[in-house]
Structure 1
Amino acid sequence: MVGLVGVVGAIAWVTPAWSQPTDQGLENEEGALDVNAREKKRPESVEVDAEYRLQSIRVDPYELSGTSVGGTTWTEQRLRMNLRLKREKTVEVFVQVDALDGVLFGDNGLYARDPSPNSGVSLSVKRPNRTGLFVGLPDGGDPLDKKSYRPVLREIDPIEINFAYATAFLPVGILRVGRQPQNEGAALAAHDGGRYNRWGVSRFADTSDRILFGTKLDEAWRVATQGPDYKPSLDLNNGLFLAVAYDWLTQNPAWGGVGDARQLNFALLFRQEEADWGGLQWSDVTASSVVVRIFDDDFESRIWGFPQRLEFKANDFRLTSQMMIIRGETREISEGFAALASGNKEPQVQNLKAQGAQVIADYKLGPLTLTMEFDYASGDADPRSSGDVTSYSFARDLNVGLLMFEHILAFESARSVAVGVENLASLDADSFPITEIQTDGRFTNALALFPQLKLDIVDTLENKLHTRFGVLFAWPAADGVVDPILTTLQEDGDEIRDDAVNFHGGRPGSYYGTEFDLQIEWDFRKSFTWTIEAAYLLPGSSLQDEHGDAVPAYLLENRFVYTF
C-alpha cells in the first residue's frame, strides 16, 4: 500500500544546539562594551563549500505501453552551497542551500500561460526563467484519466534551504538543534542528499526538526574511572556512542490543523577506524542499532522502527548491510483509502508489518572490483483499508539502478497519484496517504539481485577514470505489483485479486524486468567529475498493460559536477 519510508533510520552523531547571540560578558572594567571581547566571540573559522551540477537526460520511451509520452530529453541544473560558522570545540552553525534545483536550461513555457517565459519571442531570449518538469495535467486533459497526465512545466522556487542547525560541543557530549539530516549519510529510511550513490544522483535531503544529544559512552566510562584529570577524546571515528533525538513531525497549533505527531529515537553506534583482528586488517568498522518510536493521538498511531546497520572492510573485502523492521498500528493510512473506496468505507486502525534490507559485498582484485548487491523492500498486494499495511520503501536517494525504479515506475506512480488526489479532493479527507504512493524513484515492493563490476582504468592523485557495469534483476516482493489507487477505484467485491492492476493497467505480474546499466566516469583533481551513464530495460509482466504490451526503454545521461 503505502511505503513506510517516514520511519527514521540511523541517527547522526555529530550533534548540535542553539547559541543565542548576546552582549553579556563583553563589557570592560568601566562597563563599556569591549570591542576586543566582541571580536573574540566571533567565529574562528568560516567554511564555504559549493557544488554545481548539470545533467542532460534522455528517457525513451517514458510510457512503455502508450503513445502519449514517448522519448523525453531535458537539461537541468543545481547549485548547492554549504556554510559553516565554527568556534573550535565550542559551537558551530551549519546551513545548506540549493539554488535552481531542477531548473531547466532555457526560457521555457508559453507566453501569457503559467508558467510564462520572460520573452514572447524565442529569438530574443536574454534571461532564462525558472521552470522544471513535473507530472501534471496539460490543458484540455481529463483529470480522471491516468493517461492524460504527462510531463508538464512548472515554476520552481529559486532557493531551497535543506538544513539550518546549530551544534554545541559540551563537556558531556554534543547537542544539536534545528532542521537537520534525519541521517548522516545513506540509510534505508533516510538519506542526507550527499554524493554516496554508485548510480545516478541525489535529489532529496531527508530532514527533521529535531533536538539531538550524543555522547561517547566509552569516554564517559574513562572519565568516571580515571577522574576529572582525564581529557576525553573527541574522535568521532572510534568509540561507542549513544544518541537520543526528539523530532517534531507535525504540530497542532491553537488555531487548529494536523494533529501532533512526534518521534523519539534511541541509538547505539560502535566505530573502529582501523584494527588488526584475527590476522586481518580491518577498517571503517561501523555497527549501529536504533530504536524509533512514532506516536500521534489523532490517528491512534503507535509505531516502532528498528534500523540496524553493519559495515566493514577486511583486507580486499568490503561489506555494507542494513535492515529495517517496522511494527505498530495507525488509522492515518486508512483515512484516505477508505474515502477513496466505493461506498466510503469506515476507516480502521491497521497493523503495520513492513521491513526492508540491503546487502552490498565488494571484492577488489587489483583494478577490478566485483560487487553483489541484494535489495529487499516488502510489498502489499491488497490496498483495502481493512488489512495490514506491509509495504516498505527505501529512501528516495538510495538508488537501485538507473531507469526502472528511478524513472519508469516514478512516472507511472505519479500519474496514478494525480488521479487519486483528484478523486479525494472533493471528499474532505483528513489524510492523503496516496501521496506516498508516488515513488519519486524509491525502491519499493521489490526483491532485486544486482551483480556489478567496476574497472579502474586510471587511478592517480590527479586523474581517476573508471567504468562500471551492472545487471539488475527485480521481482515484486508481494503477490505482484498493484497500483493501490486504480485498484481501489475499481474494487467491486470481496476478492481484490480480480480487481488488481499494476501501474500500467495490466495484471500484477510476477517480474519487473531486467535492466542493464553502464557508467563511465572521469574525476579530475577531485574538483571536476564527468559522468556518462546508460541503461536499457527489458520489461517483465509487472510492467505490461492490459493487453500484455510493454516495449523496452533506454536512458542516456551526461553529467558535469564541479566541486569547490
Structure 2
Amino acid sequence: MTIGSNWKLQLESEVAMILGETDLGASPDAEQHQVMQLAGAFRADLNGPLGGVGFTALFASGDNNLGDDKQTGFKADSNFDMGMLLFPYVIAAQTARAPVTAANPDLVGVPAQDRERIPTRGSVTNTWAFFPKAWVRPLDGLELYAGALMALSNVDNADPFNTRLAGGDPRNAVNEDPGSYYGTEFDLGLRYSALLWGTTLQLGVEGAVLLPGSALGLTDMIMGGRAMAVYQF
C-alpha cells in the first residue's frame, strides 16, 4: 500500500495450528500424545526514502509439562527473526541440556523417548513477543537500524529436570520459580551494500543487550555482537 508519493506500508499476518496424534516422545505414562499447538504473527512496516519503522508481534503456544499426554509447544521456523540474543542463544542454551538431564536415572526409571525434541535450537516458542524497530539510510547503501524486543512466556518456562526434582512445581533452568517475563532486548546494527562491477558486497555489524527477566532466572545483563561480510558474484 502506497501512502503519499514516497511511503509504502506493508502488512502481513499468519496463523498456524497443528492438531493430531503422535508417538514422538513416548513414555511409560503416555505412549500417545495429543498434539495441540497454535501460533500467530503480525508484521507492519512503513518504509520511506530515508528510513522507516516496523512492528512485529508473535504468539506461540508453550508446553510446561513434557511428561503428560499432550504436546502443546509450537516452535516457529528458526529463520523467523525475533531479536539477536534471547531466542537464538539464551533460551536455546538453557534448553540444550534437557535431553540429558531429563533422563537422569536418579529421577526417572525409564526416560521418555525422542528427548531431542525438547531443545528449541533457536526457534521462537512459548511466548508473547513484541518487536518495534526503526531504520535510517543517511547515505546510499548505508543503513542504521535498531529495535527493542519485549517477550513474555505463555506458560511457565519449566525445565524438566528441575521441575521433576521439585515434585512437579515448575522450576526454570536455574532452579527458580519462573515468572512470566523473559526480558527486554535492545538491538543495534549497521549495514552497508555496494555494487562492484556487477557484483554485490555487503558488510555489517550488529550488537545486542539483553536485560533478562524472572522467566529466565538470570540477573546479569547479557551482551553479544557479530560482524558479517557477504560477496556475491
Shorter-chain TM-score range? 0.7 to 0.9
The alpha-carbon deviation at position 381 of structure 1 amounts to 2.2
Q: Is the 8 A contact 1:327 1:352 kept in 2?
A: yes
Q: Could you tell me which residue of structure 2 aligns to residue 319 of structure 1? A: 11
Question: SS at the partner of 2:181?
Answer: coil
Find out whether 1:371 has 2:54 as its counterpart: yes
Aligned 8 A contact 2:102 2:160 in 1: no
Q: Residues of 2 paired with 1:529 and 1:541: CA distance?
A: 38
**Contact 1:399/1:442 (<8 A) preserved:** no
Which residue among 156, 159, 184 is the counterpart of 1:514? 184
Amino acid at match of 1:323: V
Cα 1:451–1:430, aligned 2, differ >3 Å: closer, same or farther?
closer
SS in 2 for 1:481: coil
Structure 2 residue corresponding to 1:505, chosen from 175, 197, 207: 175
Structure 1: which 5+ runs fail to align?
1-279, 283-314, 339-344
Q: Which residue identity lines up with residue 22 of structure 2 in the other structure?
A: T
**Which residue in the other structure is 1:533 paired with?**
206
Kindly indicate whether residue 142 of structure 2 is the aligned counterpart of residue 471 of structure 1. Answer: no
- Counterpart of 1:458 (choices 139, 149, 154) is 139
> 2 CA distance for matches of 1:328 and 1:557?
40
Deviation of the 1:427 alpha carbon? 7.1
Residue identity matched to 1:445: N
Q: Residues of 2 paired with 1:376 and 1:445: CA distance?
A: 8
8 Å CA contact 1:348, 1:385 repeated in 2: no
1:559 alignment partner in structure 2: 228
Question: Alpha-carbon deviations, 1:121-164, whole Å to 9, x = none?
Answer: xxxxxxxxxxxxxxxxxxxxxxxxxxxxxxxxxxxxxxxxxxxx
Q: For residue 445 of structure 1, what is the aligned residue in structure 2? A: 126
Where in structure 2 are the equivalents of 1:16-31 lying within 5 Å? none
Per-residue deviation at 1:428? 7.5
> How far off is 1:469 after superposition?
0.4
Specify the code of the residue in structure 2 equivalent to 1:332. L
- 8 Å contact kept, 2:173–2:216: yes
CA distance in 2, matches of 1:422, 1:491: 14
Task: State the alpha-carbon separation in 2 of the partners of residues 418 and 429 from structure 1.
Answer: 10
Q: Give TM-score scaled by structure 2 length.
A: 0.87
Map of 1:358 onto structure 2: 41
Pick the structure with greater CA Rg. Answer: 1
Structure 1 residues 367 and 421 mapped into 2: Cα distance closer, same or farther (>3 Å)? farther
For structure 2, the 5+ residue unaligned runs are none
Q: Retained in 2: the 8 A contact 1:409–1:441?
A: yes
Letter in 2 for 1:487: T
Cα offset for 1:453? 0.3
Distance in 2 (CA, whole Å) between partners of 1:423 and 1:451 is 45
User: So what's the TM-score if we normalise by structure 1?
Assistant: 0.38
Contact 1:367 1:457 in 2 (8 A): yes
SS in structure 1 opposite 2:71?
Answer: coil
1:405 aligns with 2:82: no
CA apart distance, 1:331: 3.0
Q: Deviations over 1:514-562 (max 9, x none)?
A: 0000010011216221111000011110111xxxx52111012111122
Q: Distance in 1 between matches of 2:139 and 2:99?
A: 46
Letter in 2 for 1:484: P
- 1:385 aligns to what? 68
Distance (whole Å) between structure 1 residues aligned to residue 123 and residue 105 of structure 2: 24
Give, in whole Å, the separation in 2 of the partners of 1:541 and 1:502.
9
State the superposition RMSD in angstroms: 2.5
Q: 1:562 to 1:438 in 2, by over 3 A?
A: same
SS in structure 1 of the partner of residue 215 of structure 2: helix
Q: What is the aligned-residue identity percentage?
A: 26
Amino acid in the other structure paired with 2:188: L
Match of 2:117 among 422, 433, 436: 436
Aligned residues: 226
Determine the C-alpha separation between the residues in 1 that align with 2:208 and 2:105: 35
Flag the structure with more relative contact order, 1 or 2, with Cα contacts below 8 A and sequence separation at least 6. 2
Q: Distance in 2 between matches of 1:429 and 1:485?
A: 11
Find the aligned partners of 2:154 and 2:181 in 1 and give their Cα distance.
10
